[in-house]
Structure 1
């Protein structure tokens, strides 16, 4: 599956899902059971009183508003506001905190039609564009798009998504910025560095029926604007999910997901379905078309199938949701067609993806081989690591270096045999930031006429 990330050179009812920071060593599998946790309080910052602190001093240094001291006292109900011991923990309403703007940088963009909507105006954006609070973005079909935040978190928006950056700011008491992004339609994948610790500012991803609060994990959030349903699917880490009126969260681990109904009711935890696996090929009448068949989980109601012309899925061809794990390939040649398959359950939860490169090969040295292209369009100073992984897991490096000038933005590896390949492309976004795209695919070279 193709993924994007970036690093800096220097350094309607609502349902809630958040990442749990507690250790889960020894926890039993949750395929059928439900583990519950209290609903977190994300509206307050918890501050531990230090030697020399006073409420008035805290207000003057870190808060704003003419009645900040009054609101702070009301939020805590101190027995004696003049005698608060060192080590005491107090709640500070986030609405009172002084803050400065934080930024999000466009770190991946392979099309020219992504726009920032500002009221009735629409402005095109490009790689390196810096965004702030209030930005609304619409991602067109067939486009790869990623945002990188100041804490190196990455938001990867899928084709057709619409988002609004509702909150993006820093305060002097927390290391990481406070982030609130609303997904108004489509799907978004979130990768938050594990270094983001408990006590940092909230990182929330909302939909009109869900919120995901993050403390260092990797997961997806989906929202169907027509059906008004949401999905939370965990890849790494642990997430809690609840409806707004529910009093507890459902703890959801890696490889699991929770669907949320239009009324805001979280459903039972599900194990995410495995992707379809390539099984066979059937020649069709006339000899030019081939029916590619895949084995899929019986529980899959439908599939997400993304088709592209290159290994890094930069040039997308189509995106469909077939009900059968098969696809008709017309006039395959030595240049593969790239397919990305994911299984979708009846509740709308999507499992992990699997990439395939399928071609009609030519024979050299007793192996059927094909020519695999990478698309470097829009990448500044790209550097490619390309490897082949054999059946025993041994890795063979095919290239690890800068991509020199190529024709039509394509770098083509010729004569590759069937097998599993993985890759990573790093490129510059600006003088202060580099971005990365990585993925893995299985090459299937169908015997040709050579």
Structure 2
């Protein structure tokens, strides 16, 4: 155990790709995602384009028909040519397992199945199954991440690269459960899209962070946007709805999307009340529109792996055996349509006092990380940041980092680690460290 005391016709030019998904198209093409757009330049020919970038013996015919071009030999300079994605030459891309918390997660292709472990690759055509209690994070070639929750089943319909877009095309089918997509870097105009589908919905865009959930029994879907803009569409809808940061869309079992709604705020810790024996009752305040409160547990303060959850109808929860070592809960509000709102990560403990400050012991699980570097910052009421820790962490013998005597308050953190030779990956988050004391 590591103990620390804190103190992205004609050959054509690339045109801006607008990543709006599920644009109405002929059915065969709509299933392959939105087309790539090009602006014709002087000297370009359709046959030249087909030779360089397209595949299939009748690619030229399909391209002409799809764009309703009357004379393939005469295409005006500046014409916006739509290229169906399934015609593009491509090479495989992959997603690398960057975090995993159990040995029962499998990938399957056809009749072949294998157990996933850290550093393994998932490719187009694979179906990933995540048992109850397990979670998985995949890092794409552009450093985007897909986080797959307990009980989820995901099919990778497309995971490929073409010569005309700078990032991989990613199309995922969520068969069951919940998936979170995080595309943190600033997107370039010619990035390929990320798309997550269920049997009743399609959602996706680049340069954003969003979540999709699907219940195969109820056939309902939810799309929740934390940053950026997402185009969400029910399978029975004529057009998509745009959900912005802080909004969500629920799709009913009949495939029709409900109106866009705002994400509910997270429940806020209010106080604690001593109960019988070693029991404490944690009390929170919650939005009036919350139908229920979702409480998920974590083994460490990174909240990388969320386990068993409680669905509460009242904003309070009894806990036992509280001590100076913090325990970890994520609290969220759920609307009547099933949209999960913002989450608040809490580290809670029965504190001890040193130098007039309430303090707790907090753990980071660095298991599976290679050469991690942690930066931890404490935030004051105005948002001013104070560095607490900024260092590489040796984990040759132990992968549990314990920060002893950490003062209560708001924190944010960033961890970088090696994903492969000459390739680093990162993750970040925040938490509120709370002292459980009577009427605290």
- What's the TM-score once normalised by structure 1's chain length? 0.86
Whether 1:274 aligns to 2:256 is no
Change (3 A) 1:332 1:269: same
Q: For residue 383 of structure 1, what is the aligned residue in structure 2? A: 373
Q: For residue 286 of structure 2, what is the aligned residue in structure 1? A: 296
**Counterpart-to-counterpart distance in 1, 2:389 and 2:236:** 53
**Counterpart-to-counterpart distance in 2, 1:326 and 1:389:** 26
Whether 1:409 aligns to 2:365 is no
RMSD, aligned CA:
2.4
Q: How many residues align?
A: 416
Q: Do the aligned partners of 2:201 and 2:255 also contact (CA within 8 Å) in 1?
A: yes
Q: Can you list the C-alpha shifts for 1:105-136, whole angstroms capped at 9, x where unaligned?
A: 11222322221123344311122112210111
Which structure has more relative contact order (CA 8 Å, sep 6+)? It is: 1
Paired residue secondary structure (2:258): coil
User: How does 1:365-380 map onto structure 2 within 5 Å?
Assistant: 365-380=355-370
Q: Do the aligned partners of 1:197 and 1:215 also contact (CA within 8 Å) in 2?
A: no
Deviation at 1:236, TM superposition (A): 0.9
**Counterpart-to-counterpart distance in 1, 2:378 and 2:418:** 25
Q: Do the aligned partners of 1:304 and 1:344 also contact (CA within 8 Å) in 2?
A: yes
Q: For residue 123 of structure 2, what is the aligned residue in structure 1? A: 132
Deviation at 1:270, TM superposition (A): 0.8
**Counterpart-to-counterpart distance in 1, 2:82 and 2:408:** 59
**Counterpart-to-counterpart distance in 1, 2:241 and 2:65:** 31
User: How does 1:1-12 map onto structure 2 within 5 Å?
Assistant: none
Paired residue secondary structure (2:340): coil
Q: Can you list the C-alpha shifts for 1:184-207, whole angstroms capped at 9, x where unaligned?
A: 111111122454344543321111
Q: Do the aligned partners of 2:143 and 2:425 also contact (CA within 8 Å) in 1?
A: no
Q: For residue 317 of structure 2, what is the aligned residue in structure 1? A: 327
Q: For residue 78 of structure 1, what is the aligned residue in structure 2? A: 69
Deviation at 1:44, TM superposition (A): 2.5
**Counterpart-to-counterpart distance in 2, 1:365 and 1:257:** 45
Change (3 A) 1:316 1:68: closer
Deviation at 1:79, TM superposition (A): 2.8
**Counterpart-to-counterpart distance in 2, 1:317 and 1:190:** 19
**Counterpart-to-counterpart distance in 2, 1:297 and 1:281:** 19
Q: Do the aligned partners of 1:368 and 1:447 also contact (CA within 8 Å) in 2?
A: no
Change (3 A) 1:194 1:388: closer
Q: Do the aligned partners of 1:20 and 1:238 also contact (CA within 8 Å) in 2?
A: no
Deviation at 1:95, TM superposition (A): 2.1
Q: Can you list the C-alpha shifts for 1:265-321, whole angstroms capped at 9, x where unaligned?
A: 0001111101111111111123x1001111111111112211123211357553222
Deviation at 1:336, TM superposition (A): 1.1
Paired residue secondary structure (2:322): coil
Extract unaligned runs of 5+ from structure 2: 1-7, 9-16
